[in-house]
Structures are given as C-alpha cells and as structure tokens.
Structure 1
C-alpha cells in the first residue's frame, strides 16, 4: 500500500534499494533459465550495504517477454534472489515471496527478512523478485532526486483551491516525467503481467506448483495468479489481504479509516503512561494537530531540507504500520513539537525510499505505475473532491483524494483484468487478516476469501500491517504448518495479539 516504512521491524512492507543490481550472468545461458550469481548490491533500509552478506545467498536474472501478446518479441530481465534451504530434512522445493507495495523490492526485503524465516528456510529455498517496473526489473523512474523531493514534500493541508491546484500541477508534472523516462515499460507493467512473470519464475525454478507467500499488495498478485493458473497453485498464503474489487474512492475511505484507527490506538497507548505528547488522548491529538498546522506555514529545517506538513504526515503514517515503532513515533512527534524534525524526516524518508545521498528507490514511482495500470477507473475532479471531503471527515491528518488524482492523468491506459479474482480449481489457499491493520483493513479479508472460492480465513486480533512477520507465534505457527505440512486451519481460527 502507499504508506510503507522500509525498516527491519516492518518486514511486511517494502524494502529499499538505491542502485540497479548487477548479478552475475552468463550470456550463453538458456534465456528460460535463471542465471544465478553472487549478490552485489543488497541494500539495508537506511541505504547502506549490509555489514556482512551471507555467501550462500544468490541473485539472478530471468528474461521474460516485455509484451505477452508477442512472447517471442523483446525481453526484459527480472531480478531475483534465492536463500537456499538450510535444514537437513527433505527439502520441499521453493517458496516465492512478494512483500507488497506495489513497488516493494523483493530482492532487498527477502534478504532483510531472512532471520524471521528460519523455520521455513529449513525446508524450502526462499525466493523473491523485483516485479516488472520495480527497481532492478526495469524500474520506473520519474525524475531525479530534487524532483522527487518536491513531489514527496507537497502539503495536503489546508484542503483549499490553492492546494488542489498545486497537487493537480504536481501530478501532471510527475506523470510527464514518468512517461519521459519510463514510457517504454509503463503499458506493460501491472499485476496481470507480473502474474505471468511469476509462472515463468515457477517454471525456471523447476517447480511443478508455485508455493507462494504474498503480503499486502502481494495478496492481489497471488489472487490473480490463482485465477490465471489455478492448476499451478501449490501452498499459497495471502497475508494482509487487499480486496481488488474496491474503487479508488472505497479504498481511500477504508484506508483513511484504518490509519485513523491505528493513530487513535497509538495515542491511547501513549497516554496510558507518561506521554510526551499530552496528558490525555484529546490533548495529545490537539498537539499533533497544532504541529501539522504550523508546518504548513513554517516547515522545520532538517539538514538543509524542510520538514513540511506533507512529509510529517507521511512519517506519522509510516510508523503506524507496526506497534513496535510506536515508541519511536512518540519520540519523533515530541521532538518536532520542540522544533527538531530529524526523526519525523527519517520516518518519511523510510517510506518514500529516499537514501541519505538524496537518491530514491522506485518505491514511490512503481506504486502509481502499477496501481494506475491495474484499474480502468479514471476519476473526474468532482469524484476526487467528493473522496477527499469524505476522507477528511474521518481524519484531518490522513484524509486525501488518494491515488485517483494521479491515475486520472496517467499516460498508460488501465485495465480491470487484475480486479477480478476467482481461484476455482486451485489447491487450498490460506488468507490471514488483521483486525488492527491500518493499510489493508480487516473488512477486506473475508471479501477476498469469498472471491477466491478455495480460501480459508485466519484472523489476527493484533495491531499492525501484516501478521506473519508481526511476532505472533500463533500466526507464524499456523502459516508454517500450512506451508510445511499442508495443514489447513479450521474455519473461524483466530490468534490473539502478539
């Protein structure tokens, strides 16, 4: 989803990378096979290389058609990563991961998530990839670091004619830059083609069935795969599910409600003890609101940059993805109220994929490129204003017009192919939905489960975006048992908060 913090605490969200990968390749290799070699550029969330790279980890490339209507035509390379199985028991094959976004680098994020996946890795090779249009796989680019800085720092408050015009102009400029720099790839990305790529990956791995874990947006990718290739589905887990049928307006309203709910839970948790933001929830909320309003006229100076209201709101939303980051959010807001914006800026940069050197990953550019191609919907200005007004009633902090405004001016046509899923004929699918998930609200979990026909829903009662990597031993045990032993949980199964 759109607000993602790239930190090791939030492994269900997107990882970051700042440079294209150059895994070793063999120019004489069969193009239908993966050319594996050493990993040379795995990135940590702060943009720095890892201190020590596991020598067993391999990176690779797989050539796939740019246009599946012309399968023998031009090819693009998909970047992959493999963490070989470590256990002594019989290996079960491979399991492929997509960590969400859309726009998350699977190459970086799987490397970051390795320690949390030791049980699964004992029996499986763990594999992930950068989907087409993301990072190393012909990643969408839309301007340089300075241009991205201007786009990400836009204020959303106050919602008036001035901010509306500024946003409309910025959306048009951003879309034009994307077309200028990545126009060749834009019509061919999206979930339907990413699903076709994933079946090529399955075949190249030598797997008769695809074992798969999809998180957040990855649940839509999994659902589309199970619709296109139901007989090729192995053991599939969809965590933090997205309902692909929702409109831009419905998604914006649901996510605004979800983030506001998580924000209120954060404030309640903060004031249970001594809270630097205020003596009670109302006072803390008022102080945060005052900070946001002040930033619209007087941004905080942070190392030669400005912490705007837009960046501050992004930083707050990013930290709401996991309860583990709530203490840091309290610290960041407290410091900002005292005139120091470094911590909130760090949170915002983690979400937007901005490295310390001012370069950006494709996180912010791949998201709209995939989202806009995945829907034929193009809201008019009246619909956008209606969406914004409804969202602002729910949350002055998080309310906006959503991604519909950018899709309205997007240079590539959209299709509704990825909005319809039906896994009839597939093997059993496990769906995991969290009651306190701000980005993919729980209401979407039973809806996706029903659409998939072959799915079973497990409910997580805790906070945060994504349950499998939340620290819940109950959820991890159920998911690992399903992936390793094929055991499908009973209908109605739920797990308490971690």
Structure 2
C-alpha cells in the first residue's frame, strides 16, 4: 500500500489461518539458493514466437527455462531474461526469478489441466515467490492446484529479481521514525530532507534498474513468461497492486487474456493525490469498524467502552490524542537498538492491523500495553512487521521497490511542502485520525530522481475475455469504489462484491467468494453482474 513510508498502493492482506507470507521470505530465499540440478524445459520455441513478436524480442520469447527443485517438495525454481529497456532491447538484460508448483493432477489428454496460473500478492514490492512458497502453492483451493501449475515471478526490482536498494538498516530505522506531522518549518524541512535522502540512496545504489521498474514493463515481462511457459493465454490472480499489474497486462495484450481475477482492485484512472486521499478515507472506514468492535468489548477496549452511535468517533479522538502525546513524549520499547515508540511508528503499527480483522486482537493488546502500561513494544512489533524489518535490524526490499514503482507509474501527488500544507484539511476530513500524516507522506515522490513514465488513465482492455474484479466493502487500502470503477472501465469486467472488513477477499473465509472464483478459474463461469457475498 505504501510508497516508501505509507502511500498510495495496496499490499496483500495477511491470511488469518497462516503465518504471513512475508515472515517466510528469508527461509524461502535460502531454499532457492540451495536448488538441485534437476531440469525441464518449456515448449515454446524461437521459431514459433518469431512470427508474432518483433525480431529483437524473439530471443527472449523463445528462451528455454531450466527448472531446479527448490524449497518444499514439489516446488521448482528458475530464472529468465527480459530486456532492461524494451525500447532498446540490445542495451542489456534483467534477470528475473521464477518459481512454480506443478499441477497435482497427472497430465493426460483428458486430465483437464489448464496450464499455468500466475499469482502476484501486491505491493508493489511484494515477493510473488515468497507468496507462492508460503501460501498460494499450498493454501489455494485443492482443485485449483490440481488443474494449474502455480507460478510466480518476482517483478523487476523486487526481492530476487535485481532488487532496488536504498538505505541500510540504521538509516531505515531513522527514516521510519521521522515525524510525519510537522509542527513548524524546521520539522517540515526535516521531513523533506528524509524523503530526499531516501531518494538519493535509491539513485546511488540502484541507478541502473531504477528507470525500468514500471508496471508496464513488469506486465510486458509477464507476457514473456507466458510464452516461455508454453501458454497461449495468461491466467492470473492479482491482489491489491497486483490488480493494476493484471489490468495493465489486459490493456497491452487483450487477445492473450485468459482467466484474470483482480482482487482488492485499484482504479487506474486516479491521479496520485486523489488515490492517496481515497486511501486515507479507506483507513478511516477500517478504523471505525475496528473501533466499533473494540468498544463493544467493554473494559477490554483501551479506547473506551461506551456504546452508542458516537462511540467510534470517541475512540478516534482518544487514539488521536494518544498519538499526539507520542509526538511529544515517545515510549520505551525494550528495543536493543534503543528505538522508542513515537507517533510515526505507532501510527504505522495501527495501520498495519487494519489490513485484516484477524489482527484486531493484537492491536487491542498493543494499544492496551502502550496506553495503560506505557510499553510501546507491541505497536513497534506491528510496525516492524509492516516494514518487513527483521530482529537483526535488516529490512526487506519491499519499501524500496514500492517507492521505485509508484514514483515511476504516476507523477508525484504534490510539488512542494506548501502544496501538502494546503491539502491537509481535505485529508483530515477523509480521516480525522490518519489524515494529516498520510497527507505529508504523499510528499515522497516529489523528490524522486527519475521522472514518472506513466499517467493516470482508464483501462478498457477492449477485446479481452471476461475479467473478474473483486471488491471488499470496508477495504482499508483499496477502497470499494475502486473495484466498482475498474469493473466499469474494463470492457469485459464483472464485479464480485464481498461485504466485509479487511484487504482483499479471496481465501479469507467467505465460501461464497471462494466458490465463485473457483468456478471461474476452473470452468470459466463468470459471476452474475452485481453478485454480492458475505
């Protein structure tokens, strides 16, 4: 969801019945590096693709993949090459990491196997391979895994695919603690300096890849992968930002669209400022759901136990007052590096728990510890999980790739701190609790060293096969209105609505949602327009 701090895109929610896929990235990476030498090849040939792609791209489309067993039983890994710059393919390559878990149903002429199903968990910056190995390849419905090879590619600049790097652990620690609700010109200058230093770090350490991590380029990479896997059409499940990636693919290659599920959809027609403002309102909606649940629990709620229509408002005021207090007087956390819980980290911790209602008990406990016992460790743990910071103080690539992709895809939301200051009231109207901070964090792309190559626009993908767009009514990171907008823009879009809380809907406990998507993936059955699930 975030652009370097907290910004305009969506991350895949944490699955309530499993450890988060993010917590498994380190072990997954070690397993990939220990691959065996067993191999197989894709069926695509240079001769067959040369007739349908430009000659300079034919070697990429015709490459053969050498698969190696890796990770848990059944998983295989490989790498493939794509042009760094599609406008100048001869200027160099990017090496992308790919993983798969082959269909469990044996291949026969009558087996009903459906080819490959590519998955992407969002971000931008989320590792698709980590998601595949820790959840999708094991936790997707059995019948889907029986008929599809489950496939993931870490997009360019992400995780194992020439990752963007910006700051070391200590500098990231300082960055994540920067005050994002400046009270005066000095604090405003400090925040601008932090964004500049982050951008400068990215340019210094990742200058070669930084201009070439756009969503358009990642979508073009997906088409190369489709070809080398031997699939005539692309079947894809994208969550959160992955919906923008999937919609972009459909726009570029409508005739090659197979079965696309876009879950927790983004609206590609929105400029950055409007997107950030909408998302701010989304987090307010999610917080009010949490607050209503919290106050109904009586004395167990650290935000108050009053019942009635105004209780979420009261809870929001109590939380805002607490965050303002942390701005003045941070709490001890017991962190070995001496980090304290200030307003910035506390707000990130609260936002992290908004992605999934399964995180609400942890948030209640963390707020109780902080507000009543003056112990900030619980909220710090939530914040660290959000930033993918491990116990050794090292950060995953997520936040670096997130900023790099977002700042390339759309022009900056604001051109200066003065612009932000004028916009704060509108953001505060969208969310009295989070508005001010989310307005200021929208400043980060202002200082980006690479000019944006994308612009906000409608995506229609005329000629594409039916595409299922999924929206959750109280989604914090990708508001429901975005799903309605994308479904209406796509010439073949069909909206499936989940009436509930949390970010995304597939695989989160709704039998109605899961059975509808399974029928589409397995049989091509498109849900009726206006179908709603709970």
What is the TM-score with the length of structure 2 in the denominator? 0.85
CA distance in 2, matches of 1:434, 1:64: 35
1:375 aligns with 2:400: no
SS in 2 for 1:291: helix
Residue number in structure 2 paired with 1:134: 158
* Structure 2 counterpart of 1:9: 16
1:190 Cα offset (Å): 0.9
Q: Is 1:90 paired with 2:112? A: yes
Residues 394-422 of structure 1, C-alpha deviations (whole Å, 9 max, x = no match): 32432222654121110111122574422
Number of the residue aligned with 1:200? 224
Distance 1:14 1:168 in 2: 33
Deviation at residue 206 of structure 1 after TM alignment: 0.9
Q: Is the 8 A contact 2:241 2:266 kept in 1?
A: yes
Return the offset for 1:85. 1.5
How many Å apart are 1:12 and its aligned residue? 13
What is the deviation of 1:204? 1.4
Distance 1:101 1:202, change over 3 A: same
**SS of alignment partner, residue 300 of structure 1:** coil
Deviation of the 1:9 alpha carbon: 2.9
Partner of 1:216: 240
Q: Residue by residue, what CA displacement relative to the aligned partner does 1:443-485 show, whole Å, maximum 9, x if unpaired?
A: 1112111221111111111111101122111101111110000
Please, which of 72, 81, 84 is the counterpart of residue 90 of structure 2? 72
User: How many correspondences in the alignment?
Assistant: 483
CA positional deviation for 1:144? 0.5
Say if 1:36 and 1:221 are closer, same or farther in 2 by CA, change over 3 A: same
Say which SS state the counterpart of residue 484 (structure 1) adopts: helix
- Name the residue aligned to 1:48: none
Structure 2 counterpart of 1:49: none
| Consecutive unaligned residues in structure 2, runs of 5 or more | 42-58
CA contact (8 A) 2:13 2:504 kept: no
What residue is the counterpart of 1:110 in the other structure? 132
How far does the alpha carbon of each residue in 1:44-101 deviate from its partner, in whole angstroms, 9 at most, with x for none? xxxxxxxxx5221112211111111122331111112212212355321110011111
2:481 and 2:365 map into 1 onto residues whose CA distance is: 32
Is the deviation greater in 153-162 or in 467-476?
153-162
1:370 alignment partner, SS class = helix
- Greater shift, 154-163 or 445-454, is seen at 154-163
Q: What are the equivalent positions in structure 2 for 1:323-362 lying under 5 Å apart?
A: 323-337=357-371, 338-362=373-397
CA distance in 1, matches of 2:348, 2:66: 38
Equivalent residue for 1:279?
A: 305
The 3 A distance-change label for structure 1 pair 262 and 11 is: farther
Counterparts of 1:411 and 1:158, CA distance in 2:
24
- Point out 4+ residue stretches in structure 1 off by more than 6 angstroms: 10-14, 25-31
In the superposition, relative to structure 1, how do residues 355 and 190 fare at CA in structure 2: closer, same or farther (>3 Å)? same
Moved more, 411-420 or 340-349: 411-420
Partner of 1:319: 353
Aligned to 2:215: 191
Alignment correspondent of 2:33: 22
C-alpha contact (below 8 Å) 2:115/2:231 kept by paired residues: yes
Query: Which structure has the greater CA radius of gyration?
Result: 2
2:291–2:315 Cα contact (<8 Å) kept:
yes
Structure-2 residue corresponding to 1:294: 325
| Residues 147-176 of structure 1, C-alpha deviations (whole Å, 9 max, x = no match) | 111111222235543332221110001100
- Check whether the contact 1:216–1:242 (CA below 8 A) recurs between aligned residues: yes
Matched, 1:261 2:299: no
Query: Following the alignment from structure 1 to structure 2, what is the Cα–Cα distance between the partners of residues 462 and 159?
Result: 37
How far apart are 1:376 and its partner, in Å?
A: 3.3
Greater helix fraction, Structure 1 or Structure 2: 2
For 1:452, which of 467, 471, 490 is the aligned residue?
A: 490
- Superposed CA offset, 1:126-155 (max 9, x none): 111211111111111111000111111222
Match for residue 440 of structure 1? 478
Displacement of 1:25: 8.8
Shift in Å, 1:5: 7.9
From 183, 191, 196, the counterpart of 1:172: 196
Q: Deviations over 1:208-237 (max 9, x none)?
A: 100001111111111110011111110001
| Maintained 8 Å contact 1:5/1:318 | no
Q: Structure 1, unaligned stretches of length 5 or more?
A: 40-52
Mapped to 2, the partners of 1:352 and 1:490 lie a distance apart of 39
1:391 aligned partner:
427
Cα deviation, 1:17-43, whole Å, max 9, x if unaligned, reads 35685364989999723332233xxxx
3-state DSSP class of the match of 2:480?
coil
State the 1:246 CA deviation: 0.9
Find the aligned partners of 1:279 and 1:220 in 2 and give their Cα distance.
40
1:290-347, CA deviations, whole angstroms, 9 ceiling, x for partnerless residues?
A: 3212211222222232122111100101101111111111111111111112221111
Say if 1:227 and 1:102 are closer, same or farther in 2 by CA, change over 3 A. same
Work out which of the residue numbers 152, 162, 184 in structure 1 matches 2:176. 152
Q: Does 1:428 align with 2:466?
A: yes
Compute the RMSD of aligned alpha carbons.
2.4
CA shift in 2, pair 1:35/1:389, >3 Å:
farther
CA distance in 2, matches of 1:465, 1:200: 30
- The answer to whether the aligner puts 1:162 opposite 2:198 as a matched pair is no
Q: 1:249 to 1:100 in 2, by over 3 A?
A: same
Name whichever of 458-467 and 296-305 sits farther off. 296-305
Contact 1:424 1:452 in 2 (8 A): yes
Per-residue CA deviations over 1:369-428 (Å, capped at 9, x if unaligned) read 000100134622243223333112332432222654121110111122574422101111
What does residue 525 of structure 2 align with?
487
